[in-house]
Structure 1
Amino acid sequence: MTPADLSRTVLRAVRRAVDEDALRAPVPARVRVERTRPGGSGDYACAVALQLAGPAGLPARGVAEILRERVAGAPGIGRVEITGPGFLNFTLDATTGAETRAARVREVRERGLRYGRVGTQAGRLHRLHHPREIRAAVLAQSVARLLRTQGAHAVVSCTGEPGPRWEELRVRTGPATGTEGSAEIRAVPAGATAGSLVDRLGRDAALWGLQRPAAHDHAPLGDGLLVQRESNPLFLVRYAHARARALTREGARLGLTAHYCTDVDAPALHTALADHPGVLATAARLHAPDRVARHLETVADAFLDFQGTTAPLPVGDEKPSAAHRSRLALAEAAGTVLAGGLFVLGIHAPPHV
């Protein structure tokens, strides 16, 4: 784990604490970590708890305890201690990190589209109601699917159909029973009908455009959603998924079987895969499919950087090796996470773009 990786890990812990309402403070743009000074504890130290104590209205050591709970056990971190008025001190564990990464890649490939799904809300029924408007209807359907990733049941209702041709943007869901909870799903209106969006953008681009912005933001639904370049986030995500599937096909042609047996140096991609279950949980709890969409962009960026700088397959006369098998396994795991996230949003993940 590099200092940059550790900084991102601590920043994610701050965001998680704020999302869970355990910490009420603004999330900083970045978190600084530095080598522990002589006589200090661990490999790295961080003073973010002292920075957040004032805005949070808590003692710095109290903030540090909140963050330690959310950082301890993260890949590559062996021990987290609190010293002085509230400094976080980290001792790294490279071996544990490598074992954790290998186990995660295996888990993704074994669980497939179910990676990240848990049963923490098993037996709970959520009743979601939305106004008669297409964007709210689409978000309600995705929130229902997100809640199901947490083991819950969900039913969606409306005072009437959201509009003509609504069925073309609807994703069918099954029956639901259990203990009830209810919520109203609202969003800035799309200003268009399902039919006009499907005719102009197609089903998948329309669904992405309606869900990618946060519900309280306006949804840009222009022709940019159809641009076949990486500047279009939907194309980026689907292109990355298609590239991952293409590597699998080419690997099979070469007789190369994916197997994660050698640790692959791709920290951003490993981190993105590790974040997927937490993103699903937070998006379900906050009724925010946009978080899934943004996370898919992160996964896609990390995967494309990885495959652009590290050859997953043998090149030229190069012999297949354990490193190639491991890289191919990591690529397949990335493709699986991208497909699973798109599925939650109701969007197809084609093997070719």
Structure 2
Amino acid sequence: MTPADLSRTVLHAVRRAVDEDALRAPVPARVRVERTRPGGSGDYACAVALQLAGPAALPAREVAALLRDRVVGTPGIGRVEITGPGFLNFTLDAAADGHARADRVREVRETGLRYGRVTTEAGRLHRLHHPREVRAAVLAQSVARLLRTQGGQVIVGCAGEPDPAWEELRVRVGPRHGAEGSSEIRPVPAGATAGTLVRRLGCDAALWGLQRPAAHDRAPLAGDLLVQGESNPLFLVRYAHARARALVREGERLGLGPAYEEDVDAPALHTALADHPGVLAAAARHHAPDRVARHLETVADAFFDFHGTTPPLPVGDEKPSAAHRSRLALAEAAGKVLAGGLFMLGIHAPPHV
């Protein structure tokens, strides 16, 4: 169970308590859980009971007890304690957590680019429209892809005649439609045309530069997007994907196929993979492809940390083992998440960088 999973579990407990009329308080938008401080109890702590005590007109420890009763027994949680004035302290079930990580790695490897897709909005039609401006057109296309990951149907229209040069950035605008009943995509303009950006940066770097900043921020579109080094996040994301692919190829050459047989100690990478479906959902809901770009950077950083501390391939006189097969499976899963995220942004994920 990741911190995000635990946060959602506690929030669900709050909603249940409110729905059952056991707790009369507004349901918060999110619940924060933190690593327990040195000397504390359990793996994670949460102060939501103290937050709800005032509105509920109940002692915080009583609120904590209501929530504890509704999270005890949740798969992945071993023990729940109430400490101090009303803190909830959680000790995770290591065995259940390991099974969940194994299932997730297998799911990513099996579903590939479709990992994280759901049918929550099946049948819902979204109409997006945007001005005749390159950044708006690019963001609209990515928002459309994100909405489709949630099961929605999407029509994208342009307020004016589409720029033929948008085709170079893989932007294809469908039938024009009015603004009524539709969502407008209107970011800070790029300040350049599609043709200029493609000639100066190439398609993929231009797409990253247009989408990595939040829509309300200016998009810096300078030559540093082409730097082949760690100062360029796009390079790191694509290099992490290419490196993951290369590890699997080299493993196959050695007769070592990926298979998650033993739990791999790579908490940051496991958490990043687990967060991917939630990132897609939030990015779709908020029409914010920049969230996907930032998440890809997180996945890439976690992958390189894992790669540096726990080599997936045998080193020196090491003999291939189940541990190596499991690390290769995790590396392959990371590569698939990176490829899927880049696809959401319309960017190629080449096997070599």
TM range (shorter): 0.7 to 0.9
CA-CA distance at 1:131 after TM superposition: 1.2
Cα 1:98–1:45 change in 2 (3 A) is closer
1:124 aligns with 124
Give the number of the structure whose alpha-carbon radius of gyration is greater: 2
Query: 1:34 aligned to 2:12?
Result: no
Query: 1:46 aligned to 2:74?
Result: no
CA-CA distance at 1:164 after TM superposition: 4.7
Query: 1:335 aligned to 2:335?
Result: yes
Amino acid across the alignment from 1:260: Y
Distance 1:208 1:66 in 2: 46
CA-CA distance at 1:33 after TM superposition: 2.0
Paired residues of 1:224 and 1:232 also in contact (CA < 8 A): yes
1:188 aligns with 188
Paired residues of 1:11 and 1:31 also in contact (CA < 8 A): no
Paired residues of 2:147 and 2:284 also in contact (CA < 8 A): yes
CA-CA distance at 1:172 after TM superposition: 5.0
Q: Deviations over 1:70-103 (max 9, x none)?
A: 9989985335566675422212100001000000
Distance 1:171 1:70 in 2: 48
TM-score, L = length of structure 1 = 0.83
Which stretch of the first structure deviates more once superposed, 281-290 or 43-52?
43-52
Amino acid across the alignment from 1:167: E
Specify the SS of the correspondent of 1:91.
strand
Distance 1:52 1:225 in 2: 44
1:301 aligns with 301
Specify the SS of the correspondent of 1:165.
helix
Specify the SS of the correspondent of 2:155.
strand
Amino acid across the alignment from 1:338: L
Which stretch of the first structure deviates more once superposed, 83-92 or 334-343?
83-92
2:264 aligns with 264
Cα 1:86–1:332 change in 2 (3 A) is same
Cα 1:242–1:189 change in 2 (3 A) is same
Which stretch of the first structure deviates more once superposed, 235-244 or 84-93?
84-93
Paired residues of 2:166 and 2:172 also in contact (CA < 8 A): no
Distance 1:62 1:163 in 2: 62
Distance 2:280 2:274 in 1: 11
Q: Where does structure 2 lack aligned partners over 5 or more consecutive residues? A: 13-25
Amino acid across the alignment from 1:94: A
1:290 aligns with 290
Q: Deviations over 1:124-180 (max 9, x none)?
A: 1100011111111110110000000011110100122353511111345899xxxx9
Cα 1:286–1:182 change in 2 (3 A) is same
Distance 1:172 1:72 in 2: 50
Cα 1:123–1:24 change in 2 (3 A) is closer
Amino acid across the alignment from 2:139: L
Specify the SS of the correspondent of 1:113.
helix
Distance 2:228 2:67 in 1: 41
Paired residues of 2:157 and 2:173 also in contact (CA < 8 A): no
2:243 aligns with 243
Paired residues of 2:127 and 2:156 also in contact (CA < 8 A): yes
Cα 1:71–1:317 change in 2 (3 A) is farther
Query: 1:23 aligned to 2:28?
Result: yes
Distance 1:23 1:281 in 2: 19
Paired residues of 2:165 and 2:195 also in contact (CA < 8 A): yes
Map 1:1-353 onto structure 2 (within 5 A): 23=28, 31=34, 33-34=36-37, 43-44=42-43, 46-49=45-48, 76-80=76-80, 86-171=86-171, 182-353=182-353
Paired residues of 2:162 and 2:173 also in contact (CA < 8 A): no
Cα 1:32–1:323 change in 2 (3 A) is closer
Instruction: Give the % identical residues.
Output: 73
Which stretch of the first structure deviates more once superposed, 148-157 or 62-71?
62-71
Distance 1:105 1:122 in 2: 26
Distance 1:14 1:222 in 2: 44
Cα 1:82–1:189 change in 2 (3 A) is farther
Amino acid across the alignment from 1:280: L
Amino acid across the alignment from 2:137: A
Distance 2:236 2:72 in 1: 33
Q: Where does structure 1 lack aligned partners over 5 or more consecutive residues? A: none
TM-score, L = length of structure 2 = 0.83
